[in-house]
Amino acid sequence: MSNLHLHRFESDDLLAASLADAIAENLRDALSQKGTASLIVSGGSTPKKLFHALSQIDIDWENVKIGLCDERWVGADHIDSNEKLVRENLMVGHASKATFIGMFIEGAEADDAQSACTQNIKASLFPFDVIVLGMGEDAHTASLFPHNPKLQEAYESHELCISIEPSTAPHLRMSLTRSAILSAKHLYLHFQGDKKGELYHQALEGNDTFEMPIRSILHQPYTPIEVYTA
């Protein structure tokens, strides 16, 4: 597809370094144009090397705000918290000067927090300069899971956030909606390994976005996507 640009690397280290450089350049551009920049990242094990590489790049991190594509509805000290992952792996080194804007709201139920989460993100992070998506082995992205009852709403909503309860993974979630993801000035898809490489090609070949939610991002003509893989 004309709006997909594939970058393939021989090793995870080369992938992390190249993607970190690309993101840093995007953030520098935003900082020079408006004095601030927003970076939205995903959780999981895949981005850890990217986070470490990015944290060592010296940019004006004091004016960068970091947020999440999705969050498990658990406290920031919980082992499954994406906030915890980001604070421990990205917000170190030079990037320790950045500001984190989380999704989780203490004491609130996820379903009741959609509006507040949207308002918090709109006030602090929006518009999004850079979003880095991942892709699960079931072809989910952010917390948009296959055949979830709220997928249709997540695809059609013009709000930034939606609460999701996956049937195949633990914890209630808060996720960016499809329109929120596609609003990014720079959108990256980051995955590694042969299995996910095969999954990516399956996603390109089919059209059922409920079977493979990553297709809802790949099969659209509006937002260019830089695909980084090893």
Q: What is the pLDDT of residues 113-126, one digit of tens each?
A: 999 999 999 999 99
In this model, does residue 44 exceed pLDDT 90? no
DSSP line for 121-165: HHHHTPSPSEEEE---TTS-BTTB-TT-TTHHHHHH--SSEEEE-
Residues 93-113 pLDDT 10s: 999 999 999 999 999 999 999
CATH class of 4-229: alpha beta
The answer to whether 227 touches 15, Cβ cutoff 8 Å, is no
Query: Is residue 96 exposed (0-12), middle (13-18) or buried (19+ Cβ within 10 Å)?
Result: exposed
C-alpha to C-alpha distance for 154 and 143, rounded to whole angstroms: 10
In this model, does residue 2 exceed pLDDT 80? no
- What is residue 1's predicted lDDT score, i.e. its pLDDT? 62
Least confident of 34-43, 63-72, 165-174: 165-174
In this model, does residue 173 exceed pLDDT 90? yes
